[in-house]
Structure 1
């Protein structure tokens, strides 16, 4: 193997530098999201205590060596609550992505291939998209009750139409391609056409869309919890912590500041990752580079 071939491998410093120069957002966003995931998974081993432990003597304690992020209104450790809150936000984001992508993919494929189904499903999707996602989620949660599962379902319903329209547009383009028309003419089973020609070509836009759905779901959950329509107060989430600290923000800003930073950090990381993936999968970007 030649020296030039070795120097161009992705594991070499030169290869890593090339990746950094071409797609810095992917690396930065991936690292930021990885930190949030690590904090959520390793919460019990990061110097935390039970986030529900009440210590009245430590009420509104300022950040220090004992309470790294200070204490809240009833003396609970804000650091522990912030770290454990990452679990709720990431669980909501992942759950919404799985449900939204799954149902949106199914609806989009059916709408793209079957004309009479398209007329029905797309009108339903248009109706859902006409309602602001926050209002739709609040209405659904008010009917079903506040719980983590209901929050995920409520946010997912608002995201399904966006995925469905994206998949539908991709399918409408793909089914006009010569290789798809040839497969249909040759009598290839519909399922096999989907598996070989349709699904592989929807993965790239769906992967990019998934990052934006994830970020939107995390923010929406925080908003719902902030206004009291999200996860129950007994479950520590960034939205709940911020909502509880807003009444004493003037004298204890740390209660709002630290979970707010964690929320912004996670959403920024996911958005950077999504921007980087869009650049990778965008043929126009690839041709320019």
Structure 2
């Protein structure tokens, strides 16, 4: 146990996960595994430093660090739960650094990375609130950044404003409507072109061929027409969570931008029409994207 704690101190969360997984790799392979773990930990530490300094980072590498760190944190949380404790779900060190910049309204932060960590944070907030270890309807860092940008009189992209408005409304806030001025001041500035935030263009409307929404309808019906789909951050076999479809139902999600689709079972409740877990999202995603802006969501038999 003492050796494990020392390893965690030296290698960090990313290193700990790899050490646990490679504990049996003693003898000839042990040095190689230790070297690989140290290299991964060092790379993630550099990314943390770059994020803290307001610099651009390799988005793919940052997301990989988050995956490893999140896995280690989740292992710890599940072990604590098995011991009868009620631990909170935490964000990875990488997403903590991303969220710190997002909360300041840092316009130089890569949107896909900020949105990825927003989804992690949102899911953790929901789980913690349900378990009584966190406040309900907590506004995410990305939407706190929208507040900050409004306070500075900066433009807010309509797509970002659309989901932050919902967060603010759920939290009892004044919302993020409008393009500038103080939040809640009742001022309405002139519209700003969507091109002001190229990393986060306005959500594309569903194609005309998409049938009307039919929430709670029978098999074969489209539900939540026009909704976007992203990932919940949950691991395991392909599955979905929903605030519209009951647990146990099956849902087919089609990414209309690449034609890929996946059919999975709803296994939990979320704050959106449909969230896909990591494995399901991988089946339909476009490389480097963490949001399906044009999706068809169908309930199937």
TM-score range, shorter chain: under 0.3
Highest RCO, 1 vs 2 (Cα 8 Å, sep ≥ 6): 1
TM-score relative to the length of structure 2: 0.22
TM-score (norm 1): 0.22
Q: Choose between structure 1 and 2: higher helix proportion.
A: 1
* Structure whose residues are more often strand by fraction: 2
Choose 1 or 2 for highest CA Rg.
Answer: 1
